[in-house]
Structure 1
């Protein structure tokens, strides 16, 4: 799996491959399945559509590892407009951002200023829903500054949340501090090709690490401290385990949620909603869809089937 992930990450960072794929009419079906729209209006419309099905959304403007000042400004502007639009329509004001698309490639000071502006936009538009600026977590080289950014914004009383990757050796220590502070935490398994010195690499080890983190986030102490766990997974075994631990420790269904990606396992998503599980979808929008999509293939080779079906059946 490590070699496969490295290959997909290499494709995601290739400007030539990205331009070729995004210019291919045959791949339009693939983009439509996993991307909410090309612009803010399209993303908001898709979020409204999901709400009618009992599903909330976290909007994300496509792009990563951005060092162009104009593109950074465009990213912040589009996400701020999302916050405005979500507030106006009464939806959760919930947006996600990668630090490396908000200025971290240039300087963490710039990233902090942009994240502060976005967190304030969320706060200014917040309604009765679950409102947050969710900081996505990228490769291990930015784990410390991303967590520092989270704590900086949280100390100012802003509605901010952070993503934690279960497969890192450091995660239990990070979770201990987040639990103590009553954080909103999105837990993912981890999708970057980290070395063994920083993360577990075997599938069974990753699953064990994820279960251990579930227990921490759904502990009685976490509930008492006001933690809001978000389990980012499509693995039904992990969702079932989380539901079991939640019941055992007295958590109500509205005190935690599952987050999945738009377009992945839609039948299972509907099943969870019917069972009363709070479900949020990570809803990307924008034209730069290929790097994001190929990372999904890197996380699970089974997703390659979506690419091939789209290439040979573009009308689907």
Structure 2
């Protein structure tokens, strides 16, 4: 049973979200409140063990409640542009590391806590404009969280939040290319190169709707990064599956196009946008073709050549 689909757990999460702390407060009061919420979170973490005392639903809801308050207090502090004692406490005490490690030992609640951590990073990255990413105690647990998502199947709610976070990270990397070294591992000795963000996005390249569009937008940003980074270009062109996946997808959509057209008007002689929209198979093919064309335009020549080779 997915605990994200549990009505009781979902409704409890909603109630917690509606009881967030005020949007403004005294800095010293914010800091004391922040420490208190973390202390209560830590007490739950320390009292629960996978074998002796596994977490219960109330424990998970308690942690989620405190996390919601912690994130709100951090956002209030970051908006003030003054001293950041809450943020310094978060980073110096490795709170995000502790939270991630505990979440991996919570069994059936793992997806629920993964969703909350994704939301946490999404909010903090959005408010900090990439400034937090330079801190090891922030990007290390973030990378661990992303790595734990590889090859995992999630409920749609988790997928949506994950793709939003990945999209935000890609925007940060394009705007601050020096951060790329934190998320892209070049090949060393017998270890292949790795780009977790890109690999995760590939799961959604052919997904319909807003989720798929956001994933493709993020993939295009990765292609932009490749244009000035040879190792990234080599990884995408030769170690990732993007080129064969795009070519195979385009071929499959082409094969699905209707062989005959029903023409209701005698003087009809060309397609209009309305005509295209009435043929779902053609819409899907054109959207995919436009994405492949965008990749060819913005990507490194090595990726362009590889994709064209698969297409022809």
Say yes or no: TM over 0.5.
no
TM-score scaled by structure 2?
0.29
TM-score scaled by structure 1?
0.29
The higher radius of gyration belongs to 2
Q: Larger % of strand: which?
A: 1
Structure of higher RCO (CA pairs closer than 8 Å, 6+ residues apart) = 1
